[in-house]
Amino acid sequence: MILRVAKFLSPLLMACAAIAAAEEGNLEAEVGFEARGWIHEGGQKQERSNLSVRIEAEYYTEWNDGDDSFTFSPFLRLDQRDAERTHGDIRELTWVHVGSDWELRTGVRRVFWGVTETQHMVDIINQTDAVENLDGEDKLGQFMINLSLVKDWGIVDVFVLPGFRERTFAGKDGRLRSPYVIDTNHAEYESGAEENRVDFAVRWAHSIDDFELAVSHFSGTSRDPSFQLSARSFTNVTGLGPVPDELIPVYETIDQTGLEAQYIYEDWLWKLEAISNSGYSDDRYSAAVFGFEYTAIGIFETRSDLGYVVEYHFDDRGEDSSADVLESDLALALRWTANDEDSTEVLTGITWDSDDEEKMYFLEASTRVAQEWKLEVEARFWFGRDSLSQDFATAVQVLSNPSAFSRQAYFQDEDYVQVELTRYF
């Protein structure tokens, strides 16, 4: 913990020095107060409630008429129960220089690739800050040197990515995790350089009339780990003796080629993301997500819009795919936008695994409750599978049988509701 805070503070001090040297800039901040409640006690006796605070800030300054800019965004979360969820990060610490038809971006940054809504498989530059939310949309800052070229035939981005960020995982007292605790202190790497390997990526993106197209390639350490049983921590299980109760993340070296496409036809957005990945056990695999988003505006004589999102996920590793990969899932969602003065929005839907009838319902709603306050409600419920037993021993027996292993099996008792109130400064 102390080490992590120190790691967090040193670039922060560096940034302060840079800020002091710069001209006047702009400072913004937000503080989020989060409460989570679960219907059931956790599988490892975790509590049914949790409180948490999130602090994010952004300092921005520019010079040379905006051709040079500096951004610093620190992030800090304090969690009531989960020591792993209490964490800090530098989301951005970056200098951008803009030339006539190019940009050079140097420092810690976040980059998003992709077009689909329910799965972001092409998006690979940044590691997922998985303790933040199950949706995988929170990302850790990644150090990079990124040259971006603007041409008539599209935008080409070249990335050099020194240094690797490990995925964050809920700790022993945290929830929304597998019965095994993930031991992030002993991660293993395929690369001999371990977390110091320099990764590379390149992406071409272009807009042609109603088409958006992008092709990318990444060569480096996979952001998505596989897991091995740890030999460091054991639990005594009656009849079995001591069994490992922790997992070690294993980061393999991969080459991943990605395709993104979006086509607008009338009120329909047609979307496709696909990847081809080599590296995991030397077997190349492919995955894709495709579907559409249709928006009906001014429904029922009101000023609100209703969007329909339908996306199909496919992964040719099928049931062998790693724990958080969807093998063959359908996602259906409704997005209601009130278009009111409080920017009220609701997104609700279901992901449904047609192979084993596993389902997850989700709801995300947000509205402004005062000029500088926003209220967000989120809920997830799992259905269609038997719950794992409350005690670790039975859970281990279930999970040790690969055919019974399921991505969401251990979430069957994790149904939760989250409320976050954010104040903006």
Indicate the residue type of 420: E
Kindly tell me which of 305 and 319 has the beta carbon lying closer to another protein.
305
Write the CA distances from 186 to 147, 152, 180, 289, 410, integer angstroms: 34, 47, 15, 33, 23
**Shortest separation between residue 125's beta carbon and another protein, angstroms:** 10
Q: Give pairs for 129-138: CB < 8 Å, separation 24+.
A: 129/89, 129/168, 130/167, 130/168, 130/169, 130/170, 131/77, 131/82, 131/84, 131/85, 131/87, 131/168, 131/169, 131/170, 131/174, 132/77, 132/168, 133/378, 134/176, 134/380, 136/324
Supply 377's token pair. Answer: 């409600």
Q: CA distances (Å), 207 to each of 151, 156, 204, 257, 397, in order? A: 12, 12, 11, 20, 52
Task: Work out whether strand 345-353 and strand 328-337 pair parallel, antiparallel, or are unpaired.
Answer: antiparallel
By the rule CB under 8 A, 395 interacts with another protein = no
| Contacting range for another protein; rule: CB under 8 A; set: 295-303, 316-324, 352-360, 404-412 | 295-303
Using a 10 angstrom Cβ sphere, with 0-12 exposed, 13-18 middle and 19 or more buried, the burial of residue 315 is: buried
- Using CB under 8 A as the binding rule, whether residue 122 contacts another protein is answered as no
Map residues 175-214 to x or -, x wherever contact with another protein holds by CB under 8 A: ------------------------------x-x--x-x--
How many helices (H) and strands (E) are present in the chain, helices listed first? 2, 24
Q: Map residues 125-164 to x or -, x wherever contact with another protein holds by CB under 8 A.
A: ------------x----------x-x----x---------
User: In whole angstroms, how close is the CB of 265 to another protein at the nearest point?
Assistant: 9
How, if at all, do strands 241-244 and 188-189 pair?
A: unpaired
Interaction residues for another protein, span 239-278 (CB under 8 A): 262, 264, 266-269
Residues 5-34 that bind another protein (CB under 8 A): 26, 28, 30
Total residues in contact with another protein, by rule CB under 8 A: 47
Q: How far is the CB of 104 from another protein (least distance, A)?
A: 11
Query: Does 100 participate in binding another protein (rule CB under 8 A)?
Result: yes
Give the chain's length: 425
Residue range at the interface with another protein (CB under 8 A); choices 8-16, 112-120, 245-253, 357-365: 112-120
Structure tokens of 339? 């278009």
User: How near is the Cβ of 62 to another protein at its closest, in Å?
Assistant: 7
Per CB under 8 A, the list member of 41, 195, 283, 340 interacting with another protein is 340
Residues of the shown chain interacting with another protein in the complex, contacts defined by CB under 8 A: 26, 28, 30, 60, 62, 69, 96, 98, 100-101, 103, 110-112, 114-115, 137, 148, 150, 155, 205, 207, 210, 212, 262, 264, 266-269, 295, 297-298, 303, 305, 339-343, 368, 371-372, 374, 422, 424-425
